[in-house]
Amino acid sequence: MISIFKFAVVVFYLIAQMSVLAERDISVIFDKCSAQRKEPDNQYSSELPLCILTAMEILNNNGAVNKKNLEELLLLRYKNQTFVNNLIDLCAVEQPNPGETAYYVFYTCWITPYESLEDAKHMIAFLSCWYPKYKSSEKIKAAQNDIYKCFLEKINIMDKNGEVNKEAVLQIMKASENKKLTDAVIEGCVTKKENPLETANNIWKCINM
């Protein structure tokens, strides 16, 4: 259910979303910012998010989030005031500098589509573990178990000592509509491994089955 691949489809999603918004302005901003990119192949660069969000006045020039404008944009998609308010509390979190804030807000508030608030909590916890610590694909590969551990701790599936919250793992596995869940599979998924990193890696495989 939670997959790093979600992040790989962002550009396609963004383009699809623009026609839904039917706002020519956004499309113009996107084209202009894309054309200006100095590092077009670096998906971890904050230059595109920073350019787009600043032009849309979702980020002020000093790097602060303009929540009123963000709310307007998100209401176009979700059409649910309570959900949008809750989402903004989770996602409009300012980071150490405007570039990082732009990257974070771009992916957590806007580009990643959410089915529910629970879904949003998981995805945002994942992203906040994944970024800004690891800004290149090599580093991400090397740090994968670290990211899983950080994420699983954040959503209270595991504690710092690698103790597993079995009920929580089960809930997530059941929600993923996996039909092959036998008792043996479940037992394998909630077993504590040699160290917290390996336990996290094991749980991660299970919840992505």
Name the one range near ligand NAG by CB under 6 A: 22-30, 79-87, 94-102, 170-178.
79-87
* Residue 54 token pair: 């600043």
Output 44 or 83, the one with its CB closest to ligand NAG.
83
Q: How far is the CB of 145 from ligand NAG (least distance, A)?
A: 32
What is the spatial distance between Cα 20 and Cα 9, in angstroms, rounded to a whole number?
17
Output 120 or 155, the one with its CB closest to ligand NAG.
120
By rule CB under 6 A, what string of x and - marks binding of each residue 18-57 to ligand NAG? Answer: ----------------------------------------
Q: Does residue number 85 form part of the binding site for ligand NAG (CB under 6 A)? A: no
Q: Does residue number 83 form part of the binding site for ligand NAG (CB under 6 A)? A: yes
What is the spatial distance between Cα 202 and Cα 192, in angstroms, rounded to a whole number?
9
Burial 197-208 (b: 16+ CB within 10 A, else e): eebbbbbbebbb
Count of chain residues binding ligand NAG (CB under 6 A): 5
Q: Does residue number 80 form part of the binding site for ligand NAG (CB under 6 A)? A: yes
Q: Does residue number 117 form part of the binding site for ligand NAG (CB under 6 A)? A: yes
Among residues 86, 95, 144, 176, which is the contact residue for ligand NAG, using CB under 6 A?
A: 86
Cα-based distances in Å from 151 to 2, 125, 131, 197? 11, 6, 11, 11
DSSP 8-state secondary structure symbol assigned to residue 126: H
Output 13 or 83, the one with its CB closest to ligand NAG.
83
Residue nearest ligand NAG (C-beta atom): 83
* Residue 128 token pair: 């906040």
What is the spatial distance between Cα 71 and Cα 87, in angstroms, rounded to a whole number?
9
Q: Are 75 and 81 in contact (CB under 8 A)?
A: yes
Q: Does residue number 113 form part of the binding site for ligand NAG (CB under 6 A)? A: no
What number of other Cβ atoms are within 10 A of residue 189's Cβ?
A: 20
Name the one range near ligand NAG by CB under 6 A: 41-49, 63-71, 78-86, 168-176.
78-86
Output 52 or 84, the one with its CB closest to ligand NAG.
84
DSSP 8-state secondary structure symbol assigned to residue 59: B
* Chain position carrying tokens 């990211």: 147
Q: How far is the CB of 103 from ligand NAG (least distance, A)?
A: 25
Q: What are phi and psi of 61, to 5 degrees?
A: -60, -25
Q: Which residues bind ligand NAG (CB under 6 A)?
A: 80, 82-83, 86, 117
